[in-house]
Structure 1
Amino acid sequence: MNETRKAVTKELTRLVTVADHRMACFDGGGDSKDLDEAMRAYKRIRELCESQLVLIAAARMHR
């Protein structure tokens, strides 16, 4: 479980970096492609967080 958490944390960090960079590009005069990529990263961040919350809740129910 600890390795899974590390992997999820690493992926979340990567996605936040991508989203932040793409939003900065868009704000700096980039095109809609930058905004689209940022929004995809934000969506994936939300999905990962939601899935982790479900796993945590399930683990607590089985204690």
Structure 2
Amino acid sequence: MEYLQAAKATLGMQWDEVAQAAGIEPRAFKNYRLPEGSKGHRNMPRLARDAIESLLKSHARKNRRKAA
């Protein structure tokens, strides 16, 4: 959950925007964000984590170009 909150803050997007940009269904993305003990929680698969990492890397590259 902390990982996803940090990614959301870094990207400056709303939850559904992050899900869409990563190609993840918003409902599935919500399940990844739920506390581990809650009924609807699902662990985020590697493919979804890789999609988030790709977004973060792309965001970082864009910010480096703007700063240069």
- Structure 2-normalised TM-score? 0.44
Judging by fraction of residues, say which structure has more helix. Answer: 1
Select the structure of larger CA radius of gyration: 1
